[in-house]
């Protein structure tokens, strides 16, 4: 149902809720008025001016912003714009990676492009170096956001270093427990609301003692947070944890 309150006077978080409830006027208002914000986020990824009317990356960013509107929850522990910035950047990064996978025919010799006077091998090396720099930058951003999320659970990266299971089998078991926790709708809601493990109910679903769950509580919660957030790089890292 459309809101009767003037749009400009409505708090952003309230407009997000109305859009999620099906108010298309509010949704369209947000998509239109936050185009400069979207373009800025996309530009930060692409490192160039983004033309909303011409650049495909902007369309990806706009779609991602809309996705952020519909999936945002204050329980995530960050403001909508912080959340939306992450979603937009991740989707644009995914798009760029997809495009870059398209093979480009080039001669691997020392010939130069007559128009641009560029050695294709050197260009490829520069692009790869730039991609690595961007990956490192966005990983740092995810870690900073992860630290904020951890604080809402009264956890810190320093604590995780101390409590992470030392043995591979124990880590894999804890990750499996976190995945069970995340995949159970009721338990997931409980954790996000209470910011703690439902030890009694969780112990019924996994072949792990309540004592072991308690010992690995902080690590399991940290893995749960990663699974619940839009962390492209941390989720990739998680695949190699074991």
Each residue of 35-56: pLDDT tens digit?
999 999 998 888 888 888 888 8
Q: How far is CA 54 from CA 4, 39, 46, 191, in A?
A: 35, 12, 14, 43
One domain, residues 163 and 82 = no
One domain, residues 98 and 14 = yes
- Res 110 pLDDT > 80: no
Q: Is residue 176 part of a domain?
A: yes
One domain, residues 5 and 99 = yes
Q: Is residue 235 part of a domain?
A: yes
pLDDT, residue 115, reads 38
What global pTM score does this model have? 0.54
Range of the domain at 186: 157-239
Q: Is residue 45 part of a domain?
A: yes
One domain, residues 97 and 6 = yes
Q: Is residue 122 part of a domain?
A: no
pLDDT, residue 240, reads 56
CA distance 106 to 8: 52
Q: How many domains does the chain have?
A: 2
- Res 29 pLDDT > 90: yes
Average pLDDT rounded to a whole number, residues 79-95: 88
Return the CATH number at 12. Answer: 1.10.1740.10
pLDDT, residue 241, reads 56
Residue 79 per-residue DSSP state: -
One domain, residues 1 and 99 = yes
Q: Is residue 124 part of a domain?
A: no
């Amino acid at each position: 149902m459309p809101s009767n309150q003037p749009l400009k006077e409505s708090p952003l978080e309230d407009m997000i809720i109305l859009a999620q409830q099906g108010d298309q006027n509010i949704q369209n208002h947000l998509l239109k008025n936050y185009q400069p914000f979207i373009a800025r986020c996309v530009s930060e990824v692409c490192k160039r001016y983004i033309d909303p009317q011409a650049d495909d990356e902007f369309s990806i960013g706009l779609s991602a912003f809309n996705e952020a509107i519909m999936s945002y929850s204050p329980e995530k522990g960050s403001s909508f714009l912080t959340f939306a910035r992450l979603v937009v950047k991740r989707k644009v990064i995914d798009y760029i990676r997809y495009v870059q996978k398209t093979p480009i025919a080039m001669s691997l010799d020392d010939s130069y492009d007559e128009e641009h006077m560029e050695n294709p091998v050197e260009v490829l090396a520069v692009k790869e170096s730039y991609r690595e720099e961007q990956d490192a930058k966005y990983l740092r951003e995810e870690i900073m956001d992860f630290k904020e999320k951890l604080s809402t659970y009264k956890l810190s990266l320093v604590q995780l270093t101390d409590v992470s299971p030392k043995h591979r089998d124990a880590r894999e078991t804890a990750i499996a427990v976190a995945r069970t926790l995340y995949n159970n709708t009721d338990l997931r809601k409980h954790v996000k609301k209470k910011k703690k493990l439902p030890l009694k109910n969780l112990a019924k679903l996994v072949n792990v003692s309540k004592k072991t769950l308690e010992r690995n509580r902080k690590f399991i919660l940290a893995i749960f947070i990663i699974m619940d957030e839009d962390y492209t790089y941390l989720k990739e890292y998680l695949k190699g944890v074991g």
